[in-house]
Structure 1
Amino acid sequence: MAISSVDNSHASLDSGGSLSQIAPLEAVLFDIDGTLCDTDPLHYSAFREMLKEIGFNGGVPITEEFFIANIAGKHNEDIASVLFPNDHERGLKFTDDKEAVFRRIVKEKIEPVKGLHKFTKWIEDRGLKRAAVTNAPRENAELMISLLGLSDFFHALILGSDCERVKPFPDPYLKALEVLKVSKEHTCVFEDSVSGIKAGVAAGMPTIGLTTRNPAELLMQAKPAFLIKDYEDPKLWTALDELDKMGKVKTGAE
């Protein structure tokens, strides 16, 4: 069973789509799951079936709401604690097994978020620095980036597990700034979960939220700069055109 698409009709809850405050733009940071590719339905399906098999919640399948509230965007350490509060080791073994299932599925079903390659070309054409910043395990992250044809696009891959604290704490994004040698004043973040948006905002950067699967009202609670449906959203391109016209993109940053 696939997680359903979210109604994005309320994405206009945010207050505008300007990025002029980060002039000149030097770097762009991306989450992976749900931000580069629409993988939440694959994660949800794997969790749902595997939890049902072991009799979690009395054998009643988890709902999409449960998945969004307790699993989406979170690190496996935290997911293990939620699902198996009295047996953390079992929880970690379960999440490892689930990731193996996910990797098998994603090879056949990965889909980039609409407009992704148009946007990555815009970034490359301007020589901006870029990094992927994720709570996902390294094996998952590298596989998804490779399947999307972005292995040569990213200058760095930052894992939550390599930081003292994972998202929603700012540590992974602060590490990305350090690795890329750019400042938060000239960098923006793209995220699709409450946990991720909170991390980007806490790191001091304007964070654009994608309503790939999570409700706009929920994402707005994390205080994103603005929300977009995908990378073809006119709101994004209006903001990028504004930067171009004002000469506020630092070309040749790499």
Structure 2
Amino acid sequence: MTTSSGENSTCSLSQLAPVEAVLFDVDGTLCDTDPLHYCAFREMLQEIGFNGGVPIDEEFFIKNIAGRHNDDIASILFPDDYERGLKICDDKEVIFRRLAKEQLKPVNGLYKLKKWIEDRGLKRAAVTNAPRRNAEQMISTLGLSDFFHTVVLGSDCEHAKPFPDPYLKAIEILNISKNHTFVFEDSVSGIKAGVAAGMPVVGLMTANPAHLLMGAKPTFIIKDYEDPKLWATLEELDRIGGVTKGAT
């Protein structure tokens, strides 16, 4: 199956047969959180007079913040006062968690995909640059605490995304082969990490446009987990016996 963007998704994922595991980013991949992060950063940065008090716009957010670890964000936003930048990022997370508690919703089709994965006994991990408290809150709020076998944080690794370290750590913990595993991601940073780790990545257009995601070389891109491209690919994997059913 060739998609409109020219990616040959079925062929690429069919090469994984038999599939052993699926790895997920959290922010923007399990739930659409970029609008909440944007609001939190916009509020916090304006409060401290960043950029002369002029609020950041979405273009600035996507270019400098979205998908990045707070260590990198602090370096980008406050190159002359890194420690202050870290403190501001920590304060922003308090705002984010408040917003997430009130507004967090799953990406469309997530629980349908969850059932497909569980029915086939695939291993699964959440791999995220989010701080631990954020990740745990989001996963719990979505009712996925018992779904994931492990959660790997960028801060647990020598290098966070866009480096491959978090994904390589996940496959090590799950004791699986990268040759039988694929990834769901929504950011350029995350897609680059999965690709660098040697795995096919399905990109979600939760917050970023297709042309931006394609620059990071995902295997193919989908609107959400109801996208017919995704289910055609999963059905093809089932048809060719590309999924090994086992105990969860």
Same fold per TM (> 0.5)?
yes
Counterpart for residue 15 of structure 1: 7
Matched residues in 2 for 1:113 and 1:164: separation?
Answer: 30
Counterpart for residue 184 of structure 1: 178
1:253 is displaced (CA, Å) by 5.6
Report the TM-score, using the length of structure 1 for normalisation. Answer: 0.94
Matched residues in 1 for 2:187 and 2:175: separation?
Answer: 26
- For residues 52-63 of structure 1, what are the structure 2 equivalents within 5 Å? 52-63=46-57
1:70-91 Cα offsets, whole Å, 9 max, x none, are 0000000000011111000100
Counterpart for residue 197 of structure 2: 203
1:221 equivalent to 2:223? Answer no
1:72 corresponds to which letter in structure 2? Answer: A
1:49 is displaced (CA, Å) by 1.3
Matched residues in 2 for 1:146 and 1:225: separation?
Answer: 29
1:135 equivalent to 2:137? Answer no
2:9 corresponds to which letter in structure 1? Answer: G
Query: Aligned residues: percent identity?
Result: 74
1:104 equivalent to 2:94? Answer no
How has the CA–CA distance of structure 1 residues 120 and 22 changed in structure 2, closer, same or farther, with 3 Å as cutoff?
same
Matched residues in 1 for 2:59 and 2:18: separation?
Answer: 39
1:59 corresponds to which letter in structure 2? Answer: G
Matched residues in 2 for 1:253 and 1:198: separation?
Answer: 31
Deviates more, 1:37-46 or 1:17-26: 17-26
For structure 1, which runs of at least 5 residues remain unmatched after alignment? 1-10
Deviating above 3 A after TM superposition, structure 1's stretches of 4 or more consecutive aligned residues are: none
1:198-239 Cα offsets, whole Å, 9 max, x none, are 000000000000000101101000000000000000000000
Matched residues in 2 for 1:211 and 1:61: separation?
Answer: 25
1:54-75 Cα offsets, whole Å, 9 max, x none, are 1111111111011011000000
Counterpart for residue 22 of structure 2: 28
Counterpart for residue 41 of structure 1: 35
Q: Give 1:166's match in structure 2, choosing from 160, 173, 176.
A: 160
Counterpart for residue 74 of structure 2: 80
1:15 corresponds to which letter in structure 2? Answer: E
After superposition, the CA RMSD in angstroms is 1.0
Q: How many matched pairs? A: 244
1:21 is displaced (CA, Å) by 1.0
1:68-116 Cα offsets, whole Å, 9 max, x none, are 1100000000000111110001000000000011111101100100000
Taking CA–CA contacts closer than 8 Å with sequence separation of 6 or more, which of the two structures ends up with the larger relative contact order? Answer: 1
Matched residues in 1 for 2:247 and 2:9: separation?
Answer: 23
Report the TM-score, using the length of structure 2 for normalisation. Answer: 0.97
Matched residues in 2 for 1:97 and 1:213: separation?
Answer: 23
How has the CA–CA distance of structure 1 residues 13 and 181 changed in structure 2, closer, same or farther, with 3 Å as cutoff?
same
For structure 2, which runs of at least 5 residues remain unmatched after alignment? none
1:12 is displaced (CA, Å) by 3.1
How has the CA–CA distance of structure 1 residues 176 and 23 changed in structure 2, closer, same or farther, with 3 Å as cutoff?
same
How has the CA–CA distance of structure 1 residues 209 and 97 changed in structure 2, closer, same or farther, with 3 Å as cutoff?
same
Counterpart for residue 4 of structure 1: none
